[in-house]
Amino acid sequence: MAVRMLFVIGAPRSGTTMLERMLSSHSMIQGGPEPHLLTPLAHLGVWAKVDKAPYDHVLAAESQKLFVSRLPRGEADYWEACRAYCDVLYGRFLEANGGRAICLDKTPAYALVLPFLAKVFPDARYVVLTRHPLAIFSSYANSFFDGDYRVAHDYNPILERYVPAMAAFLRGAEVPQLHVRYEDLVTDPEAWFRRICEHVGIPFEAEAIDYGKQARKEPREGLGDPIGVQQHSRPSTASLDKWPRELAADPAKLALMREVLERLAPDDLETLGYPVAEIWKPMEGLGPEVKPPKPPKATRYRFRRRMIVRLRSRARKGGPFRRLLEKLRLGCDVLLREQ
């Protein structure tokens, strides 16, 4: 039996965790940490493939495509098989957590495999949450890179990756989707949550907006932002002026963001709700004398994420640290080998 699915689509640091908490507070929706089920499935070889794996990924992809072409319904059988795999896992997840009617998956990485997702779940409901691109990057750089924009961009150019992918989905995907801007949601959460409930096909429950006050408490291990969303018990406009103040006070950051925006297609920005003619309006009236926002508080979550990013970056550069990790991996493989 097909599971009723709801997907929240959005780039990292765009408010998807906040929206997931609101929706999970609804009596009919079961949410939780990001499961990342669809991203690996999308790269098994038919729709896309991985670059490195313990098999010949090119040969496997071609072989799978030939096999699928000989199925009675061709690709339709493949999409159905992918859906069956997901339905089992999502369905068991619902059963294990009280059997609510709708399963919610909020995994930002899905924004990079949206054509695949729409093929597997053409009947799911999609809520596409967009946020001002500079707000996204500011939050990303400050959360994981101590505010170093250049290092953050070199590590992961998230705007260049997510903006075109999400814009293409909003323009062309033939699935039930609702576009919500983060700024609109936090400014008028009642009106926008009502629209989201109508889109999903569930009754409006105003109390779900106050997600921090709900009695329903569930484990929150796993990926997703556990810090920013816990600073408030409901949507807040407190973060709207952070990135304009930060860029106004730092010419180097402002220059980099201008370079990044120039690489993004104006049509894509307009589709996401941030036309080029208006994208700098939040900075009007701000000069270099403006005080930048305070840096985020140090937390165990931020420390852990920063260490992962830094160590991964060192490992990619090779050298003694990389060789040490490879020796440790070999030692662990030998010690943990069953035979």
Q: What's the DSSP call for residue 282?
A: G
The pLDDT of residue 200 is above 80? yes
pLDDT of 191 reads 97
Helices 158-172 & 251-262 angle (0-180, nearest 10): 40
Query: How would residue 145 be classed by pLDDT, with cut points 50, 70 and 90?
Result: confident
The mean pLDDT value for 124-142 works out to: 96
- Residue 217 pLDDT exceeds 60: no
Confidence of residue 331 (pLDDT cuts 50, 70, 90): confident
Q: What is the DSSP letter of 27?
A: T
**CA dist list (Å): 304 to 36, 48, 308, 310:** 20, 31, 6, 10
- Domain ranges in the chain? 4-131+176-236, 299-339
Residue 122 confidence (pLDDT): 96
pLDDT at 310: 76
Task: Identify the residue with better confidence: 198 or 331.
Answer: 198
Residue 219 clears pLDDT 60, i.e. is over it: no
Task: Please answer whether residues 117 and 29 qualify as being in contact, where contact means their C-beta atoms are separated by less than 8 angstroms.
Answer: no
Residue that wins the pLDDT comparison between 308 and 15: 15
- Residue at token pair 């999502």: 90
Q: One-letter amino acid identity for 199?
A: H
pLDDT of residue 216: 53
Task: Report residue 224's pLDDT band, with 50, 70 and 90 as the boundaries.
Answer: low
Contact between 137 and 190 under an 8 Å Cβ cutoff? The reply is no
- Determine which helix (DSSP H) or strand (DSSP E) holds 21, and give its type and residue range: helix 16-24
Helix boundaries (H) for 158-316 = 158-172, 182-187, 189-200, 242-248, 251-262, 266-272, 300-316
Return the C-alpha torsion angle 33, 34, 35, 40, nearest 10. -160
- pLDDT score, position 234: 86
For the stretch 88-122, pLDDT in tens is: 999 999 999 888 999 999 999 999 999 999 999 99
Amino acid at site 16: T
Give dist(CA 55, CA 187) in Å, integer.
50
Asked if residues 15 and 99 have their Cβ atoms less than 8 Å apart, the reply is no
Rounded to whole angstroms, the Cα distance separating 286 from 270 reads 24
pLDDT over threshold 60, residue 123: yes
Give the Cβ contact number of residue 10 at 10 Å. Answer: 27
Number of residues assigned to the chain = 339
User: Angle CA(187)–CA(30)–CA(20) in degrees, nearest 5?
Assistant: 25
Which DSSP state fits 13? T
Place of tokens 């008028």: 188
How does pLDDT run across 49-94, given as a tens digit for each residue? 777 767 777 788 888 899 999 999 999 999 999 999 999 999 999 9
Positive or negative: CA dihedral 187, 188, 192, 194: positive
- Structural tokens at position 275: 């036309």
For residue 126, pLDDT over 70 is answered with yes
Fold of the 4-131+176-236 domain: Rossmann fold (3.40.50)
Lowest mean pLDDT among 171-185, 223-237, 241-255: 223-237
Q: Residue 49's pLDDT is what?
A: 77
Residue type, 161: R
For residue 4, what is the enclosing H or E element?
A: strand 4-9
Give percent of the chain with pLDDT exceeding 70.
Answer: 88
The pLDDT of 128-135, averaged and rounded, is: 98
Answer yes or no: are the C-beta atoms of 128 and 178 closer than 8 Å: yes
pLDDT in tens, 155-197: 899 999 999 999 999 999 899 999 999 999 999 999 999 999 9
Which 3-state string (H, E, C) describes 303-320? HHHHHHHHHHHHHHCCHH
- Distance in angstroms between the alpha carbons of the first and the last residue of the chain: 41
